[in-house]
Amino acid sequence: MMKLKICGMKNEGNILNVAKLNPDFMGFIFYKNSPRYFNGVIPELPENIKKIGVFVDSTLDYIKGIVGKHNLQGVQLHGNESPELCKQLQDLNCIVIKVFSIKDTFDFNSLEPYEDVCDFYLFDTKGKEPGGNGFTFDWSVLKNYSSIKSFFLSGGIGPNEFDNLLSFLKRPEAVFCHSLDLNSKFETNLGLKNTEKLKAFKDQLIANNYDV
């Protein structure tokens, strides 16, 4: 089974329309420098959709405040957060997703301090911004993945990458790929998702025997 996360949501009506596609996770960015920064009220969502807050080098108190305010089920950490902070967030009964950015190479030994203090890794494309840069990294780097922890695959995934994505998902290193993180390639404007494109992408996955 492959899970889907739709990230960078902003508009209440759009959030509700995307929720009808029944993604497993929806991401809301609480990093004030992001053009997709969320500063509204999250509408009531079905219980099966987990709300994930995205943070970049935020303090524990700030994250705790946002988690409580929006009743988030998880946090995604895009900065240089310490293993100690991850553990403190796990103690709040939050899903903790620690992000690592990749360009052409990556030292997977750097994951070791986080093995016991986060629930998932997320591999994104290293770019000018902490996330949402809109292009993919070289997924073949993941051939050297040395953990057995499930991960989210992020970074510029969209309709034009579908064939390459299918090829990746058939490779041995994809056995730990838990979720696909979709964002900028499905936008009509910053934070505004095209639900028709998202549905078509999900339908393509189902047609290729991925239960999403």
3-state secondary structure of 128: coil
pLDDT for the residue numbered 104: 84
pLDDT-based confidence at residue 127 (cuts at 50, 70, 90): low
Question: DSSP string covering 17-86, please?
Answer: HHHTT--SEEEEE--TTSTTB--S-PPP--TTSEEEEEESS--HHHHHHHHHHHT-SEEEE-S---HHHH
Question: How high is the pLDDT of residue 134?
Answer: 62
Residue 5 bridge partners (DSSP): 25, 181
Amino acid 1: pLDDT: 85
pLDDT of 168 above 60: yes
Q: Give the mean pLDDT of 14-31.
A: 98
* pTM listed for this prediction: 0.95
